[in-house]
């Protein structure tokens, strides 16, 4: 019976500790660049550059980044980086994450693009996380429009 009380008490203390953490504003993420990388076989790779803004009064420390990129409402690319760093209070930095695109995604996007008249202003949704341990992982979502590099968009 004492062990049950100990577990309940420990759980309540843990919950009250979490509720006493200071409120943090969400980080702001913007895609600032997409550059082609060397791929393997049928794989296509890009370096996605994101600007991470920390609007808080404390330093944001991260030890890894994961991204999922959807284009035109379809899954397109995903990637991870073991990059480590800190984003100072009320500061920002650019983080680069290599992402891979499967051949199936390329085919699906090529078909979707063929239905469009231009490659300019393609809608995207970027989901990801900055890993910071159990209680400090920061998840984010960004959306907007982009132009894919290295793709011909019309006649010369």
What pLDDT does 131 receive? 92
Model pLDDT for residues 22-49, shown as the tens digit of each residue: 577 889 998 888 899 998 888 889 999 9
Helix locations, 20-139, DSSP H: 103-114
Q: Which is more confident, 52 or 107?
A: 52
Is the pLDDT at 118 greater than 70? The verdict is no
Query: pLDDT band at residue 86, thresholds of 50, 70 and 90?
Result: very high
Quote the CA–CA distance of 47 and 103 in Å, as a whole number. 17
Helix (H) or strand (E) holding 11: helix 2-19
Domains in the chain with CATH codes? 26-146 (2.60.40.10)
Q: What's phi and psi for 3, nearest 5 deg?
A: -65, -35
For 9-22, what is the mean pLDDT? 50
Q: What is the DSSP string of 109-144?
A: HHHHHHTSS-STTEEEEEEEEE--STTT-EEEEEEE
Question: In which order are the strands placed within the sheet that holds 65-71?
Answer: 28-37, 44-54, 91-101, 74-81, 65-71, 122-130, 138-146
To the nearest whole percent, how much of the chain has pLDDT over 70? Answer: 67
Whether 50 and 68 have beta carbons less than 8 Å apart is answered as: no
In tens, the pLDDT along 55-84 reads: 999 999 999 999 998 988 888 899 999 999
């Amino acid at each position: 019976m004492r062990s049950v009380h100990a577990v309940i008490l420990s759980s309540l203390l843990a919950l009250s500790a979490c509720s006493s953490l200071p409120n943090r504003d969400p980080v702001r993420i913007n895609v600032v660049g997409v550059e082609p990388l060397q791929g393997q076989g049928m794989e296509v790779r890009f370096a996605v550059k994101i600007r991470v803004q920390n609007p808080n009064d404390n330093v944001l420390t991260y030890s890894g980044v994961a991204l999922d990129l959807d284009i035109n409402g379809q899954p397109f690319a995903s990637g991870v980086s073991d990059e480590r760093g800190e984003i100072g209070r009320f500061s920002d930095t650019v983080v680069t994450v290599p992402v891979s695109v499967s051949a199936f995604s390329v085919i699906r996007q090529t078909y979707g693009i063929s239905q469009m008249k231009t490659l300019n202003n393609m809608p995207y949704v970027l989901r990801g996380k900055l890993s910071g341990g159990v209680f400090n992982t920061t998840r984010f979502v960004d959306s907007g429009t982009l132009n894919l590099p290295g793709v011909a968009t019309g006649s010369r």
